């Protein structure tokens, strides 16, 4: 592989790590928000929902701006915005201002998916894109794991806001370096929004995105409540909770790489074999949520959450690989945006529902609720595998012929 390939992949992955460090500070800091602002578990869920709402609202507009102005500018501005949002969260004196700051932080993360995906597809040859996408996606879980250790680790040594200040500094430095070092041959054109009307008649795609609604609910709720659960229910320190969250992200990275590899090498029709891999991840998540609900020791919690991370955080690459077997190549932009909105929308309601259950009944019921959520997703995925796509030449077939 030539130097230009690794230059692009390295810069985009570094950007993604820095962006995820800033964005995922919120998930690692939930115990500190609860103590600092006197929040119930439901109110903690509202913080996570507000972060996700900012992301969901600005995802499509920022995607259009990326097409118009190019990824170099939008990714740079986005990372500066993420660093600024992180600082605003650290300085928020009230719960209301905390929610406002979290919304800003979430909105700026909307540059991530369209910008980094465009960078890969514009600058990497078709035969190398899957590996590049896999490496870039590990930047999400890698950055989140670093964030978990940073926020919870520095809180015990300095003060709970210290990790936010470091994260903002990392984001600012990487933003400057990315702008100076990144170059692209792509040119911006007049922006347009994805045409979702063309996808409405594609039944397996609609089933997949509906499943994504439930999968996203489970993913974001897991990362939002891991540290708080380990501290409150297991009785461990916040620092140990940060280590557990980092393990969740680490094993999620392993899951993304391994299941992506399996999707390539297993025999059979692409839609069926990749769909079955995603189905297995959903069922594995359901089992591990039930296991997590029964953990009572620190070691047991660490092991259970690590295995849970492999399944519930490891599916995102396979989710989009299934999508590529259902839609045409020229529909992938709108299809991807719809799929990402589905994942994100699931996180708008699940964290507060989880928190309410934990407040009213206990954490065991809340984790079993997530087990039921991913079981519903598994049922929908069975229908995806069984339903023939309505397009003759899906994007995955196009890619394999290049």
The verdict on 174 and 310 lying in the same domain is no
Single residue among 182, 209, 240 that ends a domain in this structure? 182
DSSP tag of 38:
T
pLDDT number for residue 121: 67
* Cβ atoms 262, 130 nearer than 8 A: no
What would the mean pLDDT of 107-121 be, rounded to a whole number? Answer: 80
Q: CA distances (Å), 123 to each of 7, 112, 307, in order?
A: 10, 16, 35
| Residue 115 shares a structural domain with residue 207 | no
CA 8 to CA 182: how far, in whole Å?
A: 7
- 8-state DSSP, 327: S
pLDDT value of position 281: 93
Structure tokens belonging to residue 336: 């991807």
Kindly state whether residue 88 falls inside one of the protein's structural domains: yes
Q: By three-state DSSP, how is residue 377 classified?
A: helix
Q: What is the pLDDT of residue 299?
A: 92
Distance CA 63, CA 193 (A): 8
Residue 190 lies in a domain: no
pLDDT of residue 324: 76
Among residues 227, 236, 221, 325, which one has the least CA distance to residue 277?
A: 325
For residue 96, is it within any domain? yes
Q: Is residue 165 part of a domain?
A: yes
- Provide the pLDDT for residue 151: 83
Which pLDDT belongs to residue 344?
Answer: 82
The domain boundary residue, chosen from 182, 215, 231: 182
Phi and psi (nearest 5°) for 382?
-60, -40
Whether 268 and 376 map to the same domain: the answer is yes
Assess whether 174 and 316 both reside in one domain: no
131: confidence class by pLDDT, cuts 50, 70, 90 = low
Both tokens of 220, joined, read 């974001």
For 298-342, how does the pLDDT look when each residue is reduced to its tens digit (9 = 90+)?
A: 999 999 999 999 999 888 778 877 887 887 766 665 677 677 788
pLDDT given for residue 306 in this prediction: 93
Q: Are residues 163 and 288 in the same domain?
A: no
State whether 207 and 176 are in the same domain.
Answer: no
pLDDT at 398 over 80: no
Confidence class of residue 3 from pLDDT cuts 50, 70 and 90? low
Q: Residue 29: helix, strand or coil by DSSP?
A: coil
Whether residue 135 is predicted with pLDDT greater than 70 in this model: the reply is yes
Query: Residue 78 sits in which domain range?
Result: 1-182
Structural domain contains residue 381: yes
Among 120-129, 149-158, 285-294, 349-358, the range with the most confident prediction by mean pLDDT is: 285-294
Residues in CB range of 265: below 8 A, 6 or more apart: none
Q: Which pLDDT does position 128 carry in this prediction? A: 63
Distance CA 171, CA 81 (A): 9
Query: What confidence category does residue 22 fall into, taking pLDDT thresholds of 50, 70 and 90?
Result: very high
Q: Is the pLDDT of residue 187 over 60?
A: no
- Tokens standing for 19? 């962006």
Q: Return the DSSP state at 389.
A: P
User: Could you read off the pLDDT of 139-178 as tens digits, one per residue?
Assistant: 887 888 888 788 888 776 787 788 889 999 999 999 999 9
Number of domains in the chain: 2
Same domain for 20 and 117? yes
Of the candidate ranges 153-157, 273-277, 298-302, 346-350, the one whose mean pLDDT is the lowest: 153-157
CA–CA distance, 337 with 319 (Å, rounded to integer): 13
Question: 271 pLDDT exceeds 80?
Answer: yes
Q: Which of these, 166, 141, 159, lies nearest to 86 by C-alpha position? A: 166
> Rounded to an integer, what distance in angstroms lies between the CA atom of residue 52 and that of residue 350?
11
The residue that leads in pLDDT, 76 or 141, is 76
45 lies in some domain: yes
Asked whether residue 192 is domain-assigned, the answer is: no
Instruction: Provide the H-helix boundaries in 266-297.
Output: 270-293
Q: What percentage of the chain has pLDDT greater than the value 70?
A: 88
Residue among 82, 98, 99, 100 at smallest CA distance from 90: 98
Domain stop point among 115, 148, 182: 182
291 and 169, same structural domain?
no
**Phi, psi dihedrals of residue 143, rounded to the nearest 5°:** -65, -35
pLDDT of residue 185: 46
Please report the pLDDT score of residue 193 as a whole number.
52
For residue 250, what pLDDT band results from cuts at 50, 70 and 90?
confident
Instruction: Judge contact between 144 and 223, C-beta under 8 A.
Output: yes
Which stretches within 92-161 are classed as H helix? 95-108, 112-123, 129-157
| Residue 401, pLDDT score | 44
Give the pLDDT confidence score for residue 175 in this predicted structure.
92
Rounded mean pLDDT, 84-100: 92
Check pLDDT > 90 for residue 46.
Answer: no
Please give the Cα distance from 339 to 350 (Å, whole number). Answer: 17
Say how many CA atoms lie within 13 Å of 52 toward its Cβ: 28
Check if the beta carbon of residue 70 is closer than 8 Å to that of residue 119: no
Asked if pLDDT for residue 399 goes beyond 60, the answer is: no
Residue 188 counted as domain residue: no
Identify how many contiguous H helices and E strands the chain contains and give both numbers: 17, 0
pLDDT of residue 330: 60
Q: Do 259 and 144 fall into the same domain?
A: no
Are 227 and 83 found together in one domain?
no
How many other C-beta atoms lie within 10 A of the C-beta of residue 76? 21
- Domain at 273, CATH number: 1.20.1250.20
Within this chain, do residues 398 and 284 fall inside the same structural domain, yes or no?
yes
> Is there a single domain that holds both residue 219 and residue 357?
yes
Instruction: Please report the pLDDT score of residue 102 as a whole number.
Output: 93
């Amino acid at each position: 592989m030539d130097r230009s390939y690794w230059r692009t992949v390295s810069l985009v992955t570094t950007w993604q790590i820095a962006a995820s460090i800033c964005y995922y500070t919120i998930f690692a800091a939930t115990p500190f928000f609860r103590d600092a602002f006197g929040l119930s578990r439901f109110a903690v869920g509202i913080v996570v929902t507000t972060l996700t709402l900012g992301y969901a609202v600005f995802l499509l507009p920022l995607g259009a701006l990326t097409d118009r102005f190019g990824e170099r500018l939008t990714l740079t501005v986005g990372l500066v915005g993420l660093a600024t949002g992180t600082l605003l969260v650290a300085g928020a004196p009230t719960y209301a201002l905390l929610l406002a700051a979290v919304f800003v932080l979430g909105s700026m993360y909307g540059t991530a998916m369209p910008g980094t995906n465009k960078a890969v597809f514009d600058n990497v040859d078709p035969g190398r894109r899957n590996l590049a996408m896999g490496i870039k996606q590990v930047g999400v879980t890698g950055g989140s794991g670093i964030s978990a250790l940073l926020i919870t680790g520095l809180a015990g040594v300095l003060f709970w806001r210290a990790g936010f200040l470091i994260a903002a500094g990392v984001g600012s430095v990487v933003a400057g370096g990315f702008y100076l070092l990144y170059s692209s041959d792509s040119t911006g054109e007049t922006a347009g929004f994805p045409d979702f009307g063309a996808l409405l008649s594609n039944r397996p795609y609609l089933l997949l995105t509906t499943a994504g609604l439930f999968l996203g609910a489970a993913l974001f709720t897991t990362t939002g409540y891991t540290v708080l659960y380990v501290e409150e229910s297991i009785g461990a320190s916040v620092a140990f909770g940060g280590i557990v969250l980092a393990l969740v992200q680490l094993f999620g990275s392993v899951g993304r790489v391994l299941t992506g590899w399996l999707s390539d090498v297993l025999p059979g029709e692409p839609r069926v074999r990749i769909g079955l891999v995603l189905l297995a991840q959903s069922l594995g998540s359901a089992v591990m949520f039930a296991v997590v609900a029964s953990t009572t020791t620190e070691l047991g919690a660490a092991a259970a959450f690590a295995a849970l991370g492999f399944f519930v955080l490891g599916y995102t690459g396979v989710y989009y690989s299934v999508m590529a077997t259902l839609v045409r190549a020229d529909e992938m932009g709108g299809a991807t945006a719809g799929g990402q909105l589905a994942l994100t929308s699931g996180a708008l309601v699940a964290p507060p529902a989880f928190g309410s259950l934990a407040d009213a009944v206990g954490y065991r019921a809340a984790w079993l609720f997530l087990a039921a959520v991913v079981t519903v997703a598994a049922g929908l995925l069975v229908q995806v595998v069984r339903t023939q796509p309505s397009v003759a030449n899906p994007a995955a077939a196009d890619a394999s012929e290049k």
